[in-house]
Chain A
Amino acid sequence: MISASGLTKVYGGKTAVDHADFTVRPGVVTGFLGPNGAGKSTAMRLILGLDRATSGSVTVNGRLYRDLPAPLREVGALLEAKAWHGGRSAYNHLRFLARTNGIPNRRVREVLDIVGLHDVAAKRARGYSLGMGQRLGIAAALLGDPAILMFDEPVNGLDPEGILWIRRLMQSLAAEGRTVFVSSHLMSEMALTAGHLIVIGRGRILADTPMADFIPASHVRVRSPDLAALGRAVAAENWRARTAEEALLVYGATPADVGDLAYRHGIRIHELSPVHPSLEEAFMRLTADSVEFHGGG
């Protein structure tokens, strides 16, 4: 469990994280979503104590990260694509990390197998592809078999096969009851992996909610010259509905249900379409004011 309270980081007058309160819980993949520059990476560095909070605090299992007796056994973090020395092999990189936290050497072999780097483990890391580098970072995160895992933009630069692999890995880690905290600016990726969402924009936490609550429910959009009559018919069926821009949005019914209903009441219909709101739309509505840079045009 990761808990931040009033977490604030100011870099030279610019507030990167602004009084953030959030909790990351076990057993579910928690997505950390926000536009580039929103403060995701800074928040993750604050969790690990790599950056010092200007005010407020963040704890891991109730302690500051630096006070954990064996940090790699409690938290595994993939911070960025490259956090290793190119002159060292994957095997030696993991071996020194294991040694610092009293992790047995056989665990190094295990994680190399898990991430599929076994064959290149003896080669110097500077020759690795982006995907291999990412796998090395994940191997390091898994090394201490930690109950908490953090991944900062894990799918960046990966090929489809690698993306699928990471997605499955994160879900299986969460299914094992671990805390999985993953940041991304890619909404489609989040929609596929995360069960819980923490949305950040300009350093502020904008939402902290289950994914299902964040995305509005699917509904039917229907237009008719006799909207009032249609509204009464829908209400009589006990379907939830609201009007929006000359149309009626009907919840809890399929387009066929609504079409049949209109037919029975002899109401003409000009449009009848299913609407599946996406995470993108929900996100855009929420962060419309908090995007750091808007594209031109």
Chain B
Amino acid sequence: MVLRKATFAGAVAGEWIKIWTVRSTLWTMFSTVVVTVGLSSLLALAYTLSYDRLGFRARLAFDPVAYGLAGLNFGVITLGVLGVLAVSTEFSSGLMRTSLSAVPRRSRLLAAKAVVLAVIALAVGLISSFAAFFASQAIFSMRRLGVGIGDPEVLRAVTGGGLYLTLIALISLGAGAIVRHTAGAITSVLGVLFVAPIFGVFLPEDWGRTVQKFLPPAAGSAILTTRETPVTLPPWQGFGVFAGYTALVLLVAFVLFRRRDV
């Protein structure tokens, strides 16, 4: 038998098989699409039906794209879970020892996981984002509120939705590798994304608002907006900040994953 080398490509291919051969992957993918598209449609429907009763200011603040993609905030939960599970279940089951005997270079293994997860999350994120967009705009169009994919800033926002969910999956992968327990990692990810903003609310007026803009969820979801708002950073700037958080978490994850005993 020719002694073929274990390569990064081999590690990626192995991770690809691994992630598709547990049921949780398909379930989280399926529920991501259903939840994001379903909730976006419901919210669009609620807005459209109550449009007549809204005041001038509320109508002025209306961003058909951001409102139509609001359901993506719930896709954050399911893709976050997918990212955490991709690494945490290996620790809880003992599989990590087997995986590392096959791919003993730690960074190679974690990088392979990140690549596979990013590809899947990007595909699911884009499908969810585009489907949520078209569904919600169809509903807004009942009152001529909708916009088209060709309108300014729209394609960027909808594509950005897929990118945002990809970063969510990756930051969750990092959290899973750091915390190594499924429940703990999911709690920390959702805690930072959904609970941290509450603290911003209690900070004094001026810099409370500034802090809020830089908190992970607000920064990350800025990419979904097509109108300037006082509570978010400009789209790419916000996305860049969130990408920075993701990079930081992954960096810590790689360092710890290389160092720790398994």
Contacts and interface: CB of A to CB of B under 8 A. Distances in A.
Given A72-B6, A101-B4, A87 B24 contact: yes
A83 B104 contact: no
Interface residues of B, number: 33
B3 A96 contact: no
* SS of A interface (majority): loop
Given A48-B100, A82-B94, A71 B6 contact: yes
B95 A97 contact: no
Given A51-B261, A71-B104, A97-B98, 13 more contacts: A49-B104, A50-B101, A52-B259, A65-B104, A69-B3, A69-B6, A71-B6, A71-B101, A73-B3, A83-B93, A84-B98, A92-B17, A100-B6
Contacts of B256: none
A239 B97 CA distance: 54
B7 interface: yes
Contact of A89 (B14, B21, B95): B21
Given A85-B93, A85-B95, A89-B21, A102 B6 contact: yes
Nearest to A64: B104
30 contacts: A45-B97, A45-B261, A48-B97, A48-B100, A49-B100, A52-B261, A65-B104, A66-B105, A70-B4, A71-B6, A71-B102, A72-B101, A73-B4, A77-B101, A79-B98, A80-B97, A83-B97, A84-B93, A84-B95, A85-B22, A85-B89, A86-B93, A87-B22, A97-B14, A99-B13, A99-B14, A99-B17, A100-B10, A102-B4, A145-B1
A97 B93 contact: no
B11 interface: yes
A71 B97 CA distance: 13
5 smallest CB-CB distances across A and B, nearest first, come from A102-B4, A100-B14, A92-B21, A66-B104, A96-B17
Nearest to B5: A69
A162 to B, nearest CB: 20
Interface in A169-188: none
A70 B101 CA distance: 10
Contacts of A51: 261-262
Contacts of B7: 102
Contact residues of B: prevailing secondary structure: helix
B90 interface: yes
Contacts of A19: none
A145 to B, nearest CB: 7
B10 A101 contact: yes
Interface string A124-157: 0000000000000000100001000000000000
Nearest to B17: A96
Contacts of B11: 100
B103 interface: yes
A87 B95 CA distance: 11
Interface string A96-130: 11011110000000000000000000000000000
Nearest to A101: B6
A95 B13 CA distance: 10
A85 B102 CA distance: 15
B96 to A, nearest CB: 8
Contacts of B3: 69-70, 73
A170 to B, nearest CB: 19
B13 A100 contact: yes
A272 interface: no
A64 B118 CA distance: 31
A163 to B, nearest CB: 22
A203 to B, nearest CB: 16
Given A70-B6, A145-B1, A83 B14 contact: no
A79 B97 contact: yes
Nearest to B93: A85
Contacts of B24: 87
B90 A50 contact: no
Nearest to A140: B98
Best-buried of A82, A96, A102, A145 by chain B (most CB within 10 Å): A96
Contacts of B261: 45, 50-52
B20 to A, nearest CB: 9
Contacts of B23: 87
B155 to A, nearest CB: 37
A158 interface: no
A80 B101 contact: no
